Amino acid sequence: MQISVIGTGYVGLVTAVLMAELGHRVYGVDIDEKKLAKLKKGRSPIYEPGLEKLLVKNLDRNRLSFSSSYEKAIPSSDVIFVCVGTPPLPDGSYDPKFVFSALESVAKNLKKYAVVVIKSTVPPSIGPSLKKIMDKNTSVSYDLASVPEFLREGSAVRDAFHPDRIVIGASSDKAKTILLKVHEKLPGERIIGDMLSAQLVKYAANAFLATKISFINSLAILADKIGADIDTVVDGFGSDHRIGKSFLQAGLGYGGSCFPKDTHALISYSDSLGYDFSFLKQVDRINDKQIDYFVVKIKNMLGSLKNKTIAILGLAFKAETDDMREARSILLINKLYKLGAKLRVFDPVAMANAKAILKSKQLYFAKNEYDCAKQADVLCLVTEWPQFKKLDFGKIKKHMKKAIIVDGRNFLPKEKLKKMGFSYEGIGRR
């Protein structure tokens, strides 16, 4: 089939490459010319394991091309995936302007029937506005549909090729049949329904995962208070198959471009419907407080933080990505900076993005992990990059002023570190 993917960011680029790999002919459309120039040369503008290789492969076999031209892409397309950003607004709601403008351009260039699929995360109430934009700008027949995206940055390629499920929301049987066909080579359960339900599925998934994180972080605080060990607790209650152990990792809380934005949007959307989603508000509050809890832990180890040197290992919002959107490191760094600490920071791939965001602060951007640890009073693990587990901690210890590690992801080998003479503090870890 002929496919257009509008927006070639984290979701759009993976979708474009996936569709090409499945055998479709794909146009990736974006308004960012710099991004397009890189893509045309086979270079991925984002760090995502395995993505660039598939990008080059599909460019070479002419299944994939990139352009800023809707005129080129849309007329021949059978299916159009809209994957533009839906960034948060200060009041907690989301900004639909990119979706609206993309849809207007799609509609103006429609020459034959197509299924216009919203992959961007949008609240269910958006449907009538989308239809209005389409109808105002085209008289060609079309169907609107929603196929929410569940990929995780850092494992996006694997997730795209091995989804747990594909949720298809559409009002017409024709659109549902076409979308089943587009995805037919992929594994995973098919859940077919209406657009409203499909869009609510996406918010439900992110809100539930955020809930698990805030739940385990609350429990970890309790474990700290009584001297219990959260890892043992999770092994114990998570092995009940009704509960499961995944996403029960105590730490600094959730960040990234989706969970904070989508929980806020669901809260704000519920408020607009006259429903106080107080449960989710509490999940969000717990998450907000988790950084303060971490800072108190550092203070308990060091006393005043004024002029203390703090090494921060990991800046990206999670491992295996360069994405710094709503990264917990930003909040932590801002708080430590305000308390007068001197900060040395390092991330394996997110340094350039981090520098752009943190440029107003006087931070030392270290060359590597050992450089980061130099003369540090404490080393804080903020992102769970696998390579941090394999560090030569003897060398790290020699570089540090004091052998103290505060692990914000309960990730490092605590027994080994304790045996080596480090004072180790995790979140709810004994």
> In this structure, are residues 27 and 5 in contact, taking their beta carbons and an 8 Å threshold?
yes
Q: How far is the CB of 159 from ligand NAD (least distance, A)?
A: 9
Binding piece for ligand NAD, criterion CB under 6 A, among 146-154, 170-178, 242-250, 274-282: 146-154
Q: Which is nearer to ligand NAD, 347 or 377 (CB)?
A: 347
> In this structure, are residues 28 and 70 in contact, taking their beta carbons and an 8 Å threshold?
no
Binding residue (CB under 6 A) for ligand NAD from 1, 31, 301, 349: 31
Q: How far is the CB of 81 from ligand NAD (least distance, A)?
A: 10
In the annotation, is 83 catalytic?
A: no
> In this structure, are residues 243 and 276 in contact, taking their beta carbons and an 8 Å threshold?
no
Is residue 28 at the binding interface for ligand NAD, with CB under 6 A as the rule? no
Tell me how many degrees the CA angle 413-426-340 measures, rounded to the nearest 5.
Answer: 120
What's the CA gap between 353 and 360, in Å, rounded? 13
Is residue 153 at the binding interface for ligand NAD, with CB under 6 A as the rule? yes
Is residue 248 at the binding interface for ligand NAD, with CB under 6 A as the rule? no
Q: Which of residues 256-285 bind ligand NAD (CB under 6 A)?
A: 257-258
Non-local CB neighbours of 45 within 8 Å, separated by 6+ positions: 8, 13, 34, 35, 38, 39
Is residue 224 at the binding interface for ligand NAD, with CB under 6 A as the rule? no
Binding residue (CB under 6 A) for ligand NAD from 61, 71, 101, 288: 101
Is residue 9 at the binding interface for ligand NAD, with CB under 6 A as the rule? yes
What sign results for the dihedral spanned by CA atoms 419, 423, 427, 429?
A: positive
String marking each residue 71-100 x if it binds ligand NAD according to CB under 6 A: ------------xxxx-----------x--
What torsion do the CA atoms of 200, 205, 210, 212 make, to the nearest 10 degrees? 130
Binding residue (CB under 6 A) for ligand NAD from 5, 29, 305, 406: 29
Q: Which is nearer to ligand NAD, 42 or 413 (CB)?
A: 42
> In this structure, are residues 333 and 323 in contact, taking their beta carbons and an 8 Å threshold?
no
Binding residue (CB under 6 A) for ligand NAD from 16, 39, 64, 102: 102
Tell me how many degrees the CA angle 110-116-119 measures, rounded to the nearest 5.
Answer: 140
Non-local CB neighbours of 396 within 8 Å, separated by 6+ positions: 369, 370, 373, 379
Contact footprint for ligand NAD (CB under 6 A): 6-12, 29-32, 35, 83-86, 98, 101-102, 120-121, 149, 151, 153, 257-258
Q: Which active-site residues does the annotation give?
A: 258
